């Protein structure tokens, strides 16, 4: 058998049985189900932890956010000790309690901001990819102008004009980040609009509602969800930056960004650097953890996302 197979000049016919049918070959193995990697799972744990703290932190915190743990022993930037496990801050308040109170504020404001950016961006972006070229032109140019304004500068101007409050912060963040979402969803929408299955739906006579929600949206959802994570990080950093500059959440309310600013002095005069390190680590761990999840999601979506951004 072997020698026969290797002799090039002989006609070779593979052995076969009569029953074997030569069925159509599968040309692609089905792609696997979505699975988180180890780093992705770590990300989920950290994010879940912070979300829990954001919701229940204020009920579980050992002190009110502006209470003094040691009223008889006033001294700024105290080292961690029993009763204040992360030490105290510039006004001798409990760092742990303030982080727990601040979590809700930082995450809540950012989440609300990114949601507003998404509602505006996705609605107008996908709408723009379907609407005629005139509306598309107007919207695109408007958002391009918005994109050209530096984010922090824009925030500074708004806060300077109307003053700082939590609703103003949320709306500003939404306005600042909607152009990027608009561009992404418009690009996605246009890419999907030219696919044959959308044309097939048009030939069938489907209306806009079906085309948007049943044909385009399911195909755009995955990339948009992973971008949502990324955008959330940017908004957290933006809100924290504004707070650090003193324009975000106003004292005495706690928020991670403003905690970093308030406790800057700890670097120079403090007994420990924990007052400044703790809120910084909180911001970093949350953003990195979201990033780890986004990596997994966008790898599953085909890794094309970075090209579109």
Partner 1 sequence: MNKKVVFEAKNLCINAVRDDGSELPIVKDINFQVREGEVVALIGESGSGKTTIALSSLGYCKPGLKISNGQTTLFNQDLTTMNIEELRQIRGEKVAYLAQSAIATFNPALKINEQVTESAVIHGSKTQIEANEFAKGLYHSLDLPNPEHIGERYPHQVSGGQLQRLMAAMALCGEPSLLVLDEPTTALDVTTQIEVLKAFKKVIRERGAAAIYVTHDLAVVAQIADRIVVLYSGDIQEKGSANEVISKPRHPYTKRLMQAVRPLPAAGKKTKANKTDKVIQIKGVSAGYGGDVMSKPKEVILKDINLELSRGEVLGVIGESGSGKSTLARVIAGLLPSFKGEILLDGEKLKPRLEDRPRSELRKIQFVYQMADTAINPKQTIGNILGRPLEFYLNIYGNKQKERVLELLDMVELPKEFYTRYPHELSGGQKQRINLARALAAEPEVLLCDEVTSALDSIVGANVIDLLRGLRKNLGVSFVFISHDLSTVSAFADSIAVMYKGIIAETGSVHKVLSPPSHPYTDLLISSVPELRVGWLEDADKNIQKAKTLLEKEYII
Q: Are the C-beta atoms of 183 and 191 separated by less than 8 Å?
A: no
- The residues that bridge with 81 in the sheet, in sequence order, are 84
Structure letter (DSSP) for residue 132: -
Contact pick of 74, 142, 197, 208 for partner 1 (by CB under 8 A): 197
Total of chain residues touching partner 1, rule CB under 8 A: 35
For residues 123 and 138, what is the distance between their CA atoms, to the nearest angstrom? 15
Structure letter (DSSP) for residue 94: B
- Nearest distance from C-beta of residue 37 to partner 1, angstroms: 11
Nearer to partner 1, 205 or 307 (CB): 205
> What are the tokens at 284?
């970093």
- Nearest distance from C-beta of residue 220 to partner 1, angstroms: 10
Contact pick of 108, 111, 146, 202 for partner 1 (by CB under 8 A): 202
**Using CB under 8 A, which residues numbered 22 to 61 contact partner 1?**
22, 24-32
Task: Give the residue carrying structure tokens 């909607």.
Answer: 178
CB atoms within 10 A of CB 195: 13
> Binding to partner 1 by residue 1, rule CB under 8 A?
no
- Nearest distance from C-beta of residue 27 to partner 1, angstroms: 5
Q: Are the C-beta atoms of 271 and 15 separated by less than 8 Å?
A: no
Contact pick of 16, 71, 75, 153 for partner 1 (by CB under 8 A): 16
Nearer to partner 1, 20 or 82 (CB): 20
Q: Are the C-beta atoms of 308 and 188 separated by less than 8 Å?
A: yes
- Nearest distance from C-beta of residue 29 to partner 1, angstroms: 8
- From residue 205 to residue 224, what is the string marking binding to partner 1 with x (rule CB under 8 A)? xx-------xx--xx-----
The SS3 of residue 99 is helix
Q: How far from each other are the two terminal CA atoms of the chain, in whole angstroms?
A: 58
Query: Which residues in this chain contact partner 1 in the complex, by CB under 8 A?
Result: 5-6, 8-14, 16, 20, 22, 24-32, 195-197, 199-200, 202-206, 214-215, 218-219
């Amino acid at each position: 058998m072997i020698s026969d197979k290797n002799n090039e000049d002989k006609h070779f016919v593979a052995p076969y049985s009569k029953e074997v049918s030569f069925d159509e070959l599968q040309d692609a193995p089905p792609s696997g189900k979505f699975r988180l990697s180890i780093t992705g799972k770590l990300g989920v744990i950290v994010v879940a932890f912070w979300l829990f703290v954001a919701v229940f932190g204020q009920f579980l915190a050992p002190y009110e956010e502006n209470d003094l743990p040691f009223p008889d022993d006033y001294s700024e930037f105290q080292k961690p000790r029993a009763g204040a496990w992360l030490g105290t801050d510039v006004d001798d308040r409990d760092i742990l309690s303030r982080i727990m109170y601040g979590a809700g504020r930082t995450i809540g404001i950012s989440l609300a901001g990114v949601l507003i950016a998404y509602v505006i961006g996705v609605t107008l972006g996908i709408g723009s990819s379907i609407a005629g070229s005139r509306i598309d032109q107007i919207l695109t140019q408007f958002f391009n102008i918005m994109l050209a304004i530096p984010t922090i500068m824009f925030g500074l101007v708004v806060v300077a004009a109307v003053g700082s409050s939590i609703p103003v912060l949320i709306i500003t963040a939404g306005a600042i980040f909607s152009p990027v979402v608009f561009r992404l969803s418009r690009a996605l929408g246009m890419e999907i609009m030219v696919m044959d299955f959308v044309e097939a739906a048009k030939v069938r006579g489907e209306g806009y509602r079906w085309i948007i929600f049943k044909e385009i949206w399911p195909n755009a959802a995955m990339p948009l969800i992973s971008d949502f994570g990324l955008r959330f990080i940017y908004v957290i950093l933006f809100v924290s930056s504004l707070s650090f500059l003193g324009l975000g959440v106003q004292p005495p309310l706690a928020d991670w960004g403003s905690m970093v600013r308030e406790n800057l002095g700890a670097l120079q005069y403090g007994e420990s650097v924990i007052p400044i390190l703790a809120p910084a680590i909180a911001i970093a761990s949350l953003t990195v953890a979201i990033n780890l999840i986004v990596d997994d999601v966008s790898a599953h979506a085909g890794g094309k996302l970075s090209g579109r951004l």
